[in-house]
Amino acid sequence: MTKIQMTTPIVEMDGDEMTRILWKMIKDELLLPFIDLKTEYYDLGLVCRNETDDQVTIDSAMAALKYGVAVKCATITPNAARVKEYDLKEMWKSPNATIRAIMDGTVFRAPIIVKGIEPNVKTWKKPITIARHAYGDVYKASEMKIPAAGKCELAYTAEDGTETRELIHDFTGAGIIQGMHNTEKSITSFARSCFRFALDTHQDLWFATKDTISKKYDHTFKDIFQEIFDQEFKTQFEEAGITYFYTLIDDAVARVIKSEGGYIWACKNYDGDVMSDMVATAFGSLAMMTSVLVSPDGKYEYEAAHGTVQRHYYKHLKGEETSTNSVATIFAWTGALRKRGEMDSLPELQKFADDLEAATIETIENGTMTKDLALITSLENVKTVNSEDFIKAIRATLEAKRA
């Protein structure tokens, strides 16, 4: 069998713990036997991030901008316990936050749908993709506890020194305040990424805020989206036969629950945080959730939505058997390979991505799956397998499909 050729490398960002183990298995079993795989490799494992003072993360993000397509393994975001565990020089920042900031991107999360793992919401037939704005609002807010009576104001000092003030509240007793911000630049990038991704995946785009209550803050989001849509995307949407739809967040929530899915739901930062967990859970499993970071000028970084599955890794280290689900990580690779194929006009590479996804889904639908899915499936006569045997079962399905 001749291997599929590639022209431009994919930026490969390796990671930590159990997902690092799966990463190698996926490459060895599902990719390298079929593709003459070209990647530019960056080791984002915590050991290497520490050794390079996190420069490797920055370099990998720059490479993603250069080549346009990256695939990332889950990585540890250090906390105090990790600083001790890995004897870190510093509590390095979340790699995802660093990459997101450099790529100025928006994260799109979508569930992988298989027969036998039914969504809790019975009307949902197609995936719902959540687009979360990943900058500002409550995540970059300043807060104060107000100890006793007194006046709180917002104050803006322009560069020329002129000051504008707005009363927040005249406290008669103790209380709390919060000041948050966003920037036109970030909201504009968010809007462009959403419209572009809708065109890319041929899905309608929904966007919702609380603009009736927040007449300046949320309304600005609404206005920027509308402006960018009218100026840059309206005709393309019409040609593609897809729509952009704005509504109030309360109305959106009600419509989502009654919908059959198949669209992108763009959310402000907090709404996206909360709603993506709700949608992921209702679709069945975090291990079946894909994630892609898209920059406003169309650069892509694919990954799984879950973490490094630390608990399974410690079992693995003790020599115990694990049954860790590799589906979302496999789909990160197929997403990247398909996009590379699209950009470089390599139909064989795109076809391979389709085949690998189909083989993965078929393997589960035929009853072979990891423990997390076996626990929630409605299928009967299920065979629960370990991490490695699941990947091997997919390989067998894939080989039969491509024979």
Which tokens belong to 182? Answer: 């966003």
76 binds, among Mg ion, ligand NAP, none (CB under 5 to 8 A by kind): ligand NAP
- Compute the least distance from the CB of residue 276 to Mg ion, in Å: 7
Give 6 or 391: the residue with its C-beta nearer to ligand NAP. Answer: 391
> Which residues does residue 110 pair with via DSSP β-bridges, in sequence order?
290
d(CA 159, CA 142): 21
The residue whose two tokens read 């420069």 is 55
Query: Contact at 8 Å (CB) between 356 and 334?
Result: yes
- Compute the least distance from the CB of residue 140 to Mg ion, in Å: 16
| Closest residue to bound ligand NAP by CB | 307
273 binds, among ligand NAP, Mg ion, none (CB under 5 to 8 A by kind): Mg ion
List interacting residues with ligand NAP (CB under 6 A).
Answer: 74-77, 96, 286-287, 303, 306-311, 324-325, 372
d(CA 44, CA 56): 7
d(CA 245, CA 106): 19
Question: What is the maximal distance between C-alpha atoms in the chain?
Answer: 79
Give 22 or 256: the residue with its C-beta nearer to ligand NAP. Answer: 22
Give 203 or 370: the residue with its C-beta nearer to ligand NAP. Answer: 370
Asked if 273 interacts with Mg ion (CB under 5 A), we say: yes
Helix (H, G, I), strand (E, B) or coil at 299: coil
DSSP 87-132: T-SS-PPPHHHHHHHHHT-EEEEEEPP-TTS--SSTT--S-EEEEE
- Compute the least distance from the CB of residue 397 to ligand NAP, in Å: 19
Give 168 or 374: the residue with its C-beta nearer to ligand NAP. Answer: 374
77 binds, among Mg ion, ligand NAP, none (CB under 5 to 8 A by kind): ligand NAP
> Which residues does residue 265 pair with via DSSP β-bridges, in sequence order?
130, 206
Scanning 133-141, 142-150, 269-277, 385-393 for contacts with Mg ion by CB under 5 A, the matching segment is 269-277
- Compute the least distance from the CB of residue 280 to ligand NAP, in Å: 11
